Chain A
């Protein structure tokens, strides 16, 4: 079987389209803005009689500029703040933080026991299987809206 001379350029074009498609959208449907991608965005389902919630996610900064998460907003709660849990000799502390750095080439992990986006006074209890939008504000990348998946765990 002989190789056609046209096959190589065709493959190049297909490859370019493929790469462009990969670049276009990060998981959770968020556009990759200034190198920031936000993945694995989830929240626990609301226990009854609790009006607080927490959103967890991972932010990767594949771009050349350091960035900083400066805030978040969501319609599901009256107020949204970024908090950090710390373990100080077996005693768990939680404090509001104003910013979370996401250095160039680095990432910021929001996971149970660490950073979390706190939902304060959730208007309707979150149920497993539901999804809701949350907007993240970055110093450099600007505003990114992603979808939160509510899980039963």
Chain B
């Protein structure tokens, strides 16, 4: 092979190596994934109407301009709901002043036992930003559907436990942005530190 051809071959090899290296570097520098499940692209959430214990109706769109952490449950829930609220409480404390931009909405899927009044008291005990809402069955179902969540009242169990019927429900916490778009879903069991890191990134990025 002539010297000139060797030189060209070597140059080609170097360029390939550089290009490959560049690609690797770009991949490595790409932003790490969120701990929660990201809605990509952000998905618009249908508005819904419920009651928060006051005379005015609660609409999700009332919270436009705020970041909303929303989840479904019921106040007779002794384990999952208190844990979720406790984790959210920890995250709000650690968010510091940024917590002013966050509202927490706890939707009860058990209106037979959770009156708006009872809910308001329950929610308030977890922090000033926590709102407890419920409504007629159709209104609740609209809210549940807006997030693709699920729940079921196990009224067949009422005879087996002194606690009456249990309610199974999605354990997710949904994160809605100030433009009412779903951005992240935190599955049940995710560590508060991970929720905090994700929220700081999301809310911080929005300026």
Measured between beta carbons, the chain A residues less than 8 angstroms from B187 are 90
State whether A113 and B166 are in contact (beta carbons under 8 Å apart), knowing that A90-B172, A90-B188, A153-B86 are contacts in the complex: no
Contact B79 A93, beta carbon cutoff 8 Å: no
Greatest chain B CB density within 10 A among A52, A92, A121 is at A92
Contact A113 B79, beta carbon cutoff 8 Å: yes
State whether A93 and B78 are in contact (beta carbons under 8 Å apart), knowing that A49-B118, A113-B189 are contacts in the complex: no
Contact A113 B75, beta carbon cutoff 8 Å: no
Per-position binary interface string of chain A over residues 75-103, scored 1 when its CB falls under 8 Å from any chain B CB and 0 otherwise = 00011010101011011111110000000
**B125 on the A face (CB < 8 A):** yes
Per-position binary interface string of chain A over residues 41-82, scored 1 when its CB falls under 8 Å from any chain B CB and 0 otherwise = 000100111111110000000000000000000000011010
Chain A's interface: helix, strand, loop or mixed, by majority? strand
CA distance A49 to B79 in the complex (A): 15
Closest residue of chain A to B123, judged by CB?
Answer: A47
Closest residue of chain A to B162, judged by CB?
Answer: A79
Closest residue of chain A to B86, judged by CB?
Answer: A153
Contact A112 B171, beta carbon cutoff 8 Å: no
**Nearest Cβ on chain A to B201's Cβ, whole angstroms:** 23
Measured between beta carbons, the chain A residues less than 8 angstroms from B152 are 91
Measured between beta carbons, the chain B residues less than 8 angstroms from A116 are 78-79
Picked from A79, A92, A113, the residue with its CB within 8 Å of the CB of B169 is A92
Task: Using C-beta atoms within 8 Å of the partner chain, give the interface range for chain B.
Answer: 35 or more
Closest residue of chain B to A50, judged by CB?
Answer: B75
CA distance A90 to B171 in the complex (A): 6
**B34 on the A face (CB < 8 A):** no
Q: B residues 122-141 with Cβ under 8 Å of A?
A: 122, 124-126
**Nearest Cβ on chain B to A55's Cβ, whole angstroms:** 9
CA distance A110 to B77 in the complex (A): 16
Contact A85 B79, beta carbon cutoff 8 Å: yes
